[in-house]
Chains A and B, each alone.
Chain A
Amino acid sequence: SYELNQPTSVSVSPGQTASISCSGDNLGDRYASWYQQRPGQSPVLVIYEDSKRPSGIPERFSGSNSGNTATLTISGTQAMDEADYYCQAWGSSTAVVFGGGTKLTVL
């Protein structure tokens, strides 16, 4: 079965750039999406189709996907960006796969 791998945790200082990776076999051949989940809340879509931002998501969120790795980048990271982040792709036409999640700490 298809798998997506993420680092368990990433730390960043306020105002700096955070990068969260998501790796999977030929992930670049599929679309990747990213979700932000703050404690006690539901996941919120922050990136879809590798690099597009939904309405209402700040411009500091961006994404890329090539080869075996998709990357979520948060520029000028703010304290409010501290959350768990999950990547997601389709393993097959009907099978959805989520990464294991990355805890972003802003310190």
Chain B
Amino acid sequence: QVTLKESGPALVKPTQTLTLTCTFSGFSLRNSGMRVSWIRQPPGKAPEWLARIDWDDDKFYRTSLKTRLTISKDTSKNQVVLKMTNMDPVDTATYYCARTRPRENWFDPWGQGTLVTVSS
């Protein structure tokens, strides 16, 4: 059974850096073609893809947020970490991680999500 679970602070202040961890089981990022993405969803709005890391450590970012995002992985711990700098209230959202298997272009499954509120 494949599961992913996000963890991190529920509240961050404006200008701070957000660090989120996705801990997964049931698959390995050592496997060729495997990928993990971060996706966020502001309250009442559609999901928005943020970043992706591949089994070979290739990294891809949303163009509009590229300067603020860093994605990394710890294969031995089955974890993917997302850092987002200079947080703003508009970044308030539920943040999800999700898996993509080799040769697929969809997300399945998603984690349970973690709500991050940006407020002073």
Contact = CB atoms under 8 A, between A and B. Distances in A.
Contacts of A95: 49, 62-63
B96 A98 contact: no
Interface residues of B, number: 22
A88 B52 CA distance: 16
Nearest to B96: A42
Nearest to A89: B105
B113 A96 contact: no
Contacts of A33: 105-107
Contacts of A88: 47, 106-107
Interface string B95-112: 010000000111111111
Q: Which 8 A-B pairs have the closest CB atoms?
A: A96-B49, A33-B106, A45-B108, A94-B60, A42-B110, A48-B106, A101-B46, A98-B47
A83 B28 CA distance: 32
B106 A42 contact: no
Nearest to B4: A42
Interface in B43-93: 45-49, 52, 60, 62-63
Interface string A64-104: 00000000000000000000001011100011111111000
Interface residues of A, number: 23
Given A94-B52, A96-B37, A42 B46 contact: no
A48 B108 contact: yes
A28 interface: no
A43 B60 contact: no
Nearest to A87: B46
A31 interface: yes
Contacts of B62: 95
A42 B104 contact: no
A54 interface: yes
